[in-house]
Structures are given as structure tokens and as C-alpha cells.
Amino acid sequence: MVGARKEEEIDIEDNSSVRDLLAKLSEKHGKSFKKAVYETGSDDLKSNFIATVNGYLLNQLDGLKTKLKNGDTVVLMPIVSGG
């Protein structure tokens, strides 16, 4: 989704939210990023996708409105299932 990178450092404005970060990543990585992360026709995360900020799930915080600060770690990953 972001090429061979497993980590990426992104500079964002003060008082930015997770939604703002995802918008910046969408601009940088294009349609494939949007398709992988967002529900079709929406700016909500896919239901089979997990996002955390400093180890806390977004649903434990303020969702996509969660404010970020310098040094926060955001993890984006699809849920893997199967047998």
C-alpha cells in the first residue's frame, strides 16, 4: 500500500487529527491507498481495517477526530483472518 515501506514519518500541522493524517497519506499515495483504507464512497475506515494511536484503538479514543501530537505513533493495518 505504501510500497516497500513499513514505516513512514509524516509531518502534519499542529492540532491535526487522524482524519487529517489519512488525507495527507491519500494525497501522497493516491487511489490505491484510499481503496485499501476507506469504505467505497466514504471517508470512514473500512470495517476490516485497524488504526491505533500510541497503541490505543481509534474506538478507544475519539475515532478519526483523535488529535495527534508530535511523536505520536499511528499504526494502520488490515485485519487478517482465516484458517
pLDDT digits (tens, 9 = 90+) for 22-43: 999 989 988 888 888 888 877 7
pLDDT digits (tens, 9 = 90+) for 54-78: 999 999 999 999 999 999 999 988 8
Cα angle 65-66-72, degrees, rounded to a multiple of 5:
145
What is the separation of C-alpha 45 from the centre of its chain, rounded to a whole number of angstroms? Answer: 8
pTM exceeding 0.85: no
Please report, for the chain, the start and end positions of each structural domain, with discontinuous segments joined by +: 18-78
Q: Which CATH class is domain 18-78?
A: alpha beta
